[in-house]
């Protein structure tokens, strides 16, 4: 049985999966908000599977869980690599609080919600892992 890796949200992280896909030791599942980036990743690495998803939206995380675990019940690794960064001037009095919260929803809450949603499934596996990749902004 192939080991399955799940790479959350970041469409451009395919370089991490090249070795595993080429050697057929893993099913690589890549998710992200940007459909064009997902198509480009699939063109570059035809063996990957892609799902369009936004981790800042809890209902999309639930749907992603249903789709992925149904199609890949052997899933045992999640790599959370979601992140957005915008230059926000907190001194700007016209700044909308929702604008600030959108980064937190993706960079922090999205990761926590992904772990919460997928952890029960991963706990059923003999060997499983969750890898959280972050940046200075997350």
Strand 129-132 versus strand 3-8 pairing type:
unpaired
**Angle between the N-to-C axes of helices 58-71 and 110-122, in degrees from 0 to 180, rounded to the nearest 10:** 30
| pLDDT score recorded for residue 18 | 52
What is residue 108's three-state secondary structure?
Answer: helix
CB 102 within 8 A of CB 88: no
How high is the mean pLDDT of the chain? 79
pTM above 0.75, yes or no: yes
What confidence tens digit (pLDDT) does each residue in 30-89 have? Answer: 888 889 988 988 888 888 889 999 888 899 999 999 999 999 998 998 888 776 677 778
Domain range annotation of the chain: 3-132
Which is the CATH superfamily of the domain at 3-132?
A: NAD(P)-binding Rossmann-like Domain (3.40.50.720)
Residue 19, CB half-sphere, CA atoms under 13 Å: how many? Answer: 1
């Amino acid at each position: 049985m192939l080991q399955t890796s799940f790479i959350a949200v970041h469409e451009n992280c395919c370089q991490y999966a090249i070795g595993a896909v080429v050697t057929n030791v893993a099913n690589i599942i890549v998710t992200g908000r940007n459909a064009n980036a997902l198509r480009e990743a699939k063109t570059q690495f035809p063996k990957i599977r892609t799902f369009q998803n936004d981790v800042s939206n809890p209902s999309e995380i639930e749907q992603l869980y249903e789709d992925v675990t149904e199609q890949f019940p052997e899933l045992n690794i999640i790599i959370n690599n979601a992140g957005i960064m915008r230059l926000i001037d907190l001194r700007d009095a016209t700044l909308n609080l929702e604008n600030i919260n959108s980064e937190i929803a993706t960079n922090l809450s999205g990761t926590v919600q992904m772990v919460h949603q997928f952890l029960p499934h991963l706990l059923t596996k003999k060997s499983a892992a969750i890898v959280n990749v972050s940046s200075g902004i997350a």
